[in-house]
């Protein structure tokens, strides 16, 4: 697998990924409800993280697809794959606008990985906050 095949509608939406007005809902619709997969792959490609960290493309795509499945498992209306894609794009926007990306590629990678997983598995249950507070 050389990479993802981008539908023309996805390419069109991703032209605005560097803007604070980026429409993650348009990407979700254009991508057949795979906004997370396309935004992550696009940003990992832009930041040259795939080659820098020698990430097999098939492994990255499988990982992102597993995240998408996990984010849809609990049908949480907020902490879902659209939110994860939105947070990922927002972090990209601030990393890009502040110039941090030019200084620290490894931190950019770990930051992106963190925000990809930040809300994974949240089912919206009040008991979850009790679990988190126990640490």
Q: What is the pLDDT of residues 120-135, one digit of tens each?
A: 666 665 555 554 555 4
pLDDT band at 1 (very low <50, low <70, confident <90, very high): very low
Q: What is the pLDDT of residues 101-119, one digit of tens each?
A: 777 666 666 676 666 666 6
State the pLDDT at residue 29: 98
Specify the 3-state DSSP secondary structure of 9.
Answer: helix
Task: Indicate which residue of 28, 34, 79, 92 is catalytic.
Answer: 79
In this prediction the pTM is 0.76
Q: Within the chain, how many helices (H) and strands (E) appear?
A: 8, 0
Cα 29 to Cα 16, 38, 69, 75, 126, distances in angstroms: 15, 12, 17, 17, 31
pLDDT band at 95 (very low <50, low <70, confident <90, very high): confident
Note if 34 is an active site residue.
Answer: no
First to last CA, the chain: 42
Residue spans per domain, the chain: 8-133
State the pLDDT at residue 101: 74
Q: What is the pLDDT of residues 8-46, one digit of tens each?
A: 999 999 999 999 999 999 999 999 999 999 999 999 898
Which superfamily is assigned to 8-133 in CATH? 3'5'-cyclic nucleotide phosphodiesterase, catalytic domain (1.10.1300.10)
State the pLDDT at residue 131: 47
Average pLDDT over the chain, rounded to an integer: 83
């Amino acid at each position: 697998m050389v990479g993802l095949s981008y539908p023309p509608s996805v390419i069109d939406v991703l032209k605005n990924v560097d803007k604070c007005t980026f429409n993650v809902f348009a990407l979700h619709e254009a991508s057949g409800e795979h906004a997370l997969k396309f935004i992550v792959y696009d940003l990992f490609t832009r930041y040259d993280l795939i080659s820098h960290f020698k990430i097999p493309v098939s492994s990255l795509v499988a990982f992102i697809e597993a995240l998408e499945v996990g984010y849809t498992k609990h049908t949480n209306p907020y902490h879902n794959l659209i939110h994860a894609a939105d947070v990922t794009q927002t972090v990209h926007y601030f990393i890009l606008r502040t110039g941090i990306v030019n200084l620290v590629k490894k931190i950019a990678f770990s930051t992106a990985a963190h925000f990809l997983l930040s809300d994974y598995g949240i089912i919206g249950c009040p008991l979850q906050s009790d679990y988190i507070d126990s640490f």
